[in-house]
Amino acid sequence: MRRPSLDVARLDALAPALRIEVLEEATSTNAVAAQRARDGAPEGLLVVAEHQTAGRGRLDRSWATPPRSALLFSLVLRPTVPAADWPWLPLLTGHTVAKTLRGAGYDAGVKWPNDVLLAGADGESKKIVGILVERVDTPTGPAAVIGIGLNVSLTPEELPVPTATSLAIAAGHDPDRTAVLIDLASALVEAYDAWQAGGEEARDRLASSYAAACVTVGREVRVELPAGDSLLGRATGVDRSGRLVVTGPTGQTAVGAGDVVHVRATDQ
Ligand code: BT5
């Protein structure tokens, strides 16, 4: 059965804050949005695809979903906050997406830095959203591309990996993808505008609200670091730069990038 397409006319609700481009197919919405940014697209371009043939994760990993089963979109931003605050963009995005899904009744939480997980009935959390934020150099200055993939109507058989889930699996019915896209995109614009315009105070507010909501804080973790080694300890906080603070036998380490595995103390 062919799944329904997005209702493009209803996406007009996002104007004028966003200009929407809906593609039947793209290699990767992040790649398309980055090219548009290099070609001069202003802040607020939202590239949406019904299907990706080369969806990207971090570190050259892939992101896969069947056509029209997911929301796949990338937002072009041109932040004016100090460069030191850019690392907060992925965290702001994950936090906002998790809050929006919670508001829609899903038991969503953000795992550091920006995976959005849904708690399952068996107590095990599974990944529902992947976020890829990339910085792009353009002739008019650096831009940020915020890429989001949300599994909406995938069935258990369609999940690309056993650690994934979808809104339909959690809710027991297929949600309206267009309505979810409108909710998520408006929440992102609102959160980003408040963060950009609110100065130091808004950035402090995000830091404390993120740390309070992040499901990694307080957990025993194994962080697989980009260099290949790993760090074991308890995640005890998130610092002013958005780094995860891990407290282990040798003291505290602030981690800026890496894959976090939530472990039970007995698994270590
Ligand atoms: C991410 O990477 O989680 C970021 C994914 C971002 C995807 C969006 S879609 C719109 C935009 N355009 C793009 O090209 N990308 C963005 P990472 O943390 O590296 O996770 C990737 C891993 O997640 C893969 O190696 C798989 O194990 C798993 N995975 C792949 N597809 C998945 C899915 N649909 N749901 C859950 N997990 C998935």
What letter represents residue 238's amino acid? Answer: V
Confidence at residue 1, expressed as pLDDT on a 0 to 100 scale = 73
pTM for the predicted model, two decimal places:
0.95
pLDDT bin (cut points 50, 70, 90) of residue 265 is low
* Tokens standing for residue 151: 């599994």
* Tokens standing for residue 27: 């290699």
Whether 203 is in the pocket of ligand 1, judged by its Cβ within 6 Å, is no
Q: Kindly list the strands in the beta sheet with 19-23, ordered across the sheet, starting from the edge strand earlier in the chain.
A: 19-23, 45-49, 70-77, 141-151, 125-138, 115-119, 108-111
* Tokens standing for residue 159: 């999940």
pLDDT bin (cut points 50, 70, 90) of residue 60 is confident
In which residue ranges of the chain is CATH 3.30.930.10 found?
Answer: 8-213
Pocket test for ligand 1, best of 60, 63, 116, 157 (most atoms within 8 A of CB): 63
Whether 258 is in the pocket of ligand 1, judged by its Cβ within 6 Å, is no
Q: Single out the residue of 40, 255, 229 nearest to residue 246, CA to CA.
A: 255
In which residue ranges of the chain is CATH 2.30.30.100 found?
Answer: 220-265
Residue whose Cα lies nearest atom 9 of ligand 1: it is 149
> Check: CATH 2.30.30.100 for 220-265?
yes
State the pairing for strand pair 220-224/259-263.
antiparallel
pLDDT bin (cut points 50, 70, 90) of residue 268 is very low
Mind listing the pLDDT tens digit for each residue in 117-157? 999 877 789 999 999 999 999 999 999 999 999 999 999 99
C-alpha 197 – ligand 1 centre gap (Å): 30
Residue with tokens 């890496």: 258
Per the prediction, the chain carries an average pLDDT of: 94
Whether 240 is in the pocket of ligand 1, judged by its Cβ within 6 Å, is no
Mind listing the pLDDT tens digit for each residue in 25-50? 999 999 999 999 999 999 999 999 99
Residue with tokens 């998130």: 238
Q: Which CATH architecture has domain 8-213?
A: 2-Layer Sandwich (3.30)
Q: What percent of the chain has pLDDT over 70?
A: 98
pLDDT bin (cut points 50, 70, 90) of residue 23 is very high
156: buried, middle or exposed (CB in 10 Å: 19+, 13-18, 0-12)? exposed
Distance CA 134, CA 215 (A): 24
Q: Which residues contact 44 (CB under 8 A, 6 or more apart)?
A: 17, 18, 19, 75, 76, 77, 189
